[in-house]
Amino acid sequence: MKLDNQKDENSNFWIAYADLMAGLLFVFILLVGAIVVKYVLTQSDLKLLKGDIESQEQALKLNSIELSKRENAIKEFMQKLESEKNKNLALEEINSIFNEKLEELNLALQNAGDAFDDVDRLNLELNTTLQNKDELIASLQESISKKDKDYGLLLSDLNSTKERIKSLSGIRLKVITTLKEKLGNSIKIDMDSGAISLPSSVLFDTNSFALKDSARFDLRRTLSTYFDILLSDEIRPNIDRITIEGHTDSVGNYLYNLELSQKRAYEVMKFIYSFYKNPELQKYLIASGRSFNDLIYKDGKEDNDASRRIEIKFSISNKAAMKEIEQILEQNNR
């Protein structure tokens, strides 16, 4: 029994084992079938997936190309944007410079406006000044015209005065020539001045001022002719002075010779008034002594005889000419 039970148990074990194995086989078959089905499905899905992947890859490639194009476009856009940005910066800088220049221009225009105002003011002042200058010029021209006229008159008067002065020299020459003709060689006449020289030895004794009687006749005749010529109506208006000068040599002291020369000159003048009665003579005749101030030299040495002398000289008056000049100058100063 026990053995049968054991057999039954073994039989049951193997049956159970067979069932188990059969079950496992079925499960395995199912599993394999499932795997196969799964594989088939997977392969189908894989093909589909592969197709999708290829499609996606193709699309991706297209997208990549498109993306690349877009990237390039973006780059170009960015470059353009950067360029535009730079342009904007440049424009901003240019605009800033333009604004600065505009401000400077406005300031310059303002300054120019002020300058124009100053110019207008200066023009007004200049026009006023020019008008004043024109008036002054007109006045000066009128004054110059008057001065020219006055100058012409002055020049004419001066020329007349010059001729008058020249005529004075002519008068002196005429007097000298007339004296020479009338007196001849009877007396020494200076041809430059017209003075006549009378030796003291003929007129006076040594150290004496008394006129010699022997000299009176010839002296009277000579001096009458001399004064007639000088006091003639033609010559007298031009005579300024007639001087009798006494001269000595250098023998003796100065004061003694001065007194002697003065007394001799005075003695001759008294003698002249004793015979020559023309009252006009008093207006011109004077006497003076020169001592030995005007000695006469010969060969570098004093000529004592020639130095002792009486000189009678005349001077031509230029008072009339000077008066004419003074009148001309006074008229010109007016």
For residues 302-324, give the mean pLDDT: 83
pTM over 0.75: no
Confidence of residue 48 (pLDDT cuts 50, 70, 90): confident
Domain membership flag for residue 93:
no
More confident residue, 178 or 323: 178
The range of the structural domain enclosing residue 310 comes to 188-318
Domain membership flag for residue 162:
no
Domain membership flag for residue 212:
yes
User: In the structure encoding, which two tokens stand for residue 206, read together?
Assistant: 């040594």
The CATH number of the domain holding residue 271 is 3.30.1330.60
pLDDT for residue 2 is more than 70 = no
Domain membership flag for residue 194:
yes
Confidence of residue 198 (pLDDT cuts 50, 70, 90): very high
Half-sphere exposure of 267 (CA within 13 A, CB side): 20
Confidence of residue 93 (pLDDT cuts 50, 70, 90): confident
pLDDT score for 38: 72
312 secondary structure, DSSP code: E
User: In the structure encoding, which two tokens stand for residue 248, read together?
Assistant: 């000595």
Query: Residues 6 or more apart from 55 whose CB is under 8 A from it?
Result: none
For residues 248-258, give the mean pLDDT: 95
User: How many residues in the chain?
Assistant: 334
Most confident of 159-168, 185-194, 201-210: 201-210
Domain membership flag for residue 224:
yes
For residues 128-138, give the mean pLDDT: 81
Domain membership flag for residue 56:
no
Domain membership flag for residue 117:
no
| Residue 253 CA: distances (Å) to CA of 243, 250, 259 | 24, 7, 10
Query: Residues 6 or more apart from 191 whose CB is under 8 A from it?
Result: 176, 180
How many percent of the chain have pLDDT more than 70?
79
- CB-count burial class (<10 Å; 0-12, 13-18, 19+) for 150: middle
pLDDT score for 286: 96
For residues 292-313, give the mean pLDDT: 94
**Where are the strands (E) in the chain, listed by range?**
188-189, 196-199, 239-247, 285-289, 297-298, 301-302, 309-316
Question: Looking at the 3D structure of the chain, how many domains does it have?
Answer: 1
pLDDT, mean over the chain:
80
Domain membership flag for residue 198:
yes
* Pairing between β-strand 188-189 and β-strand 309-316 as defined by DSSP bridges: unpaired
pLDDT score for 304: 93
Q: List residues bridging with 312 in a β-sheet.
A: 196, 244
